[in-house]
Amino acid sequence: QVERDKLNKYGRPLLGCTIKPKLGLSAKNYGRAVYECLRGGLDFTKDDENVNSQPFMRWRDRFLFCAEALFKAQAETGEIKGHYLNATAGTCEEMIKRAVFARELGAPIVMHDYLTGGFTANTSLAHYCRDNGLLLHIHRAMHAVIDRQKNHGMHFRVLAKALRLSGGDHIHAGTVVGKLEGEREITLGFVDLLRDDFVEKDRSRGIYFTQDWVSLPGVLPVASGGIHVWHMPALTEIFGDDSVLQFGGGTLGHPWGNAPGAVANRVAL
């Protein structure tokens, strides 16, 4: 609810888009892609988890151009926009430095790869974001190393609960229909665990105990990965209103360009 009030968007899922190609764009071209998507009607665009601070695009340049794109799109559409600026870095101090820079630019949201960064680093960043009015988008890069094998490792449900304890506003939770698929009931199980204050025991969804989160803030599930406009009815039915739907190639792959791709998603929603 805090997020909806901050963004002034109600009664529908939020729409996002991961900027592709992942790597190789200059900061200026990257900013242009961000602007086109946001102008077309998306609420958010997103740095890919691999986009950090490479020789062809240093983080500070990217933050500047993305902020410019943000404000230009906001001025033209009259809506509040966001771009998940990836603040993941080698040290906690460097991450906070990037988050501070994002806040100074006026960006509403930053992003963190919480498994590669680690839980303690994530908690530090989450506290900073909470104290300074930033939203925190959580990417689950590296989760498959831990949760893909059935006979060892750790189930994503556990990782999702750990994230809710650690702090964050959005987390990728599988799509049920795209390429990063998950079994439907199990996915809905951790969507419930992320969003609801009280979760009833439901063995079919893999929830073996009732979970009372008391007043711990919830996390919005993000559906992202190989989804496109034709998945929209299924996605809205599965995830409901309180979710973020991210179409990367499903936006940028539009034959007429990025902005029409964004328009198509908004209209379909």
267/125 Cα distance (integer angstroms): 35
Which conformational region is residue 244 in: left (phi greater than 0), alpha (psi within -120 to 50 degrees), or beta?
Answer: beta
46, 81, 137, 139: the catalytic one is 139
20, 28, 127, 161: the catalytic one is 20
201/198 Cα distance (integer angstroms): 10
Cα 76 to its chain centre, rounded Å, is 24
The token pair that represents 246 in the structure block: 């991210």
The token pair that represents 182 in the structure block: 């998950």
- Catalytic residue status for 179: no
Q: Is 131 helix (H, G, I), strand (E, B) or coil?
A: helix
Look-up of token digits 């501070």: 100
DSSP-assigned states of every residue in 185-243: HHHHHHHHHHH-SEE--BGGGTB-S-EE-TTPPP-EEEEESS--GGGHHHHHHHH-SSS
Which element (helix H / strand E) includes 105? helix 92-105
226/228 Cα distance (integer angstroms): 7
Cα 39 to its chain centre, rounded Å, is 19
Kindly tell me the burial class for residue 205, based on how many C-beta atoms sit within 10 Å of its own C-beta (0-12, 13-18, 19 or more): buried
- Catalytic residue status for 28: no
Residues 247/229, Cβ–Cβ less than 8 Å? yes
Catalytic machinery residues: 20, 139
